[in-house]
Amino acid sequence: MQLNTIKPATGAKHAKRRVGRGMGSGLGKTAGRGHNGQHSRAGGYHKVGFEGGQMPLQRRLPKRGFKSRQLKFNGEITLADLQRLDKDDVDLLTLKAAGLVGELIRHVKVIKSGELSRKVSLKGLGATAGAKAAIEAAGGSLA
For 66, which DSSP code?
A: -
Is residue 61 predicted with pLDDT exceeding 90?
Answer: yes
CATH of the domain at 122: 3.100.10.10
Measured CA angle at 47 (ends 43, 49), to 5 deg = 145
Q: Is residue 91 in a domain?
A: yes
Q: Is residue 101 in a domain?
A: yes
Q: Is residue 56 in a domain?
A: no
**What is the average per-residue pLDDT within 97-113?**
96
- CB–CB of 139/105 below 8 Å? no
Is residue 6 predicted with pLDDT exceeding 90?
Answer: yes
Residue closest to 134 by CA, chosen among 124, 123, 76, 122: 122
Q: Is residue 127 in a domain?
A: yes
Task: Give pLDDT tens digits for 122-137.
Answer: 999 999 999 999 999 9
pLDDT band at 9 (very low <50, low <70, confident <90, very high): very high
Residue closest to 94 by CA, chosen among 122, 136, 117: 122
Split into its structural domains, the chain has a count of 1
Q: Which residue range is the domain that position 124 belongs to?
A: 71-142
Backbone angles phi, psi at 61, to 5 degrees: -80, 145
pLDDT at 143: 86
Q: Is residue 80 in a domain?
A: yes
**What is the average per-residue pLDDT within 43-62?**
92
For 63, which DSSP code?
A: P
Largest CA distance in the chain: 95
- State the Rg of the chain over Cα: 35
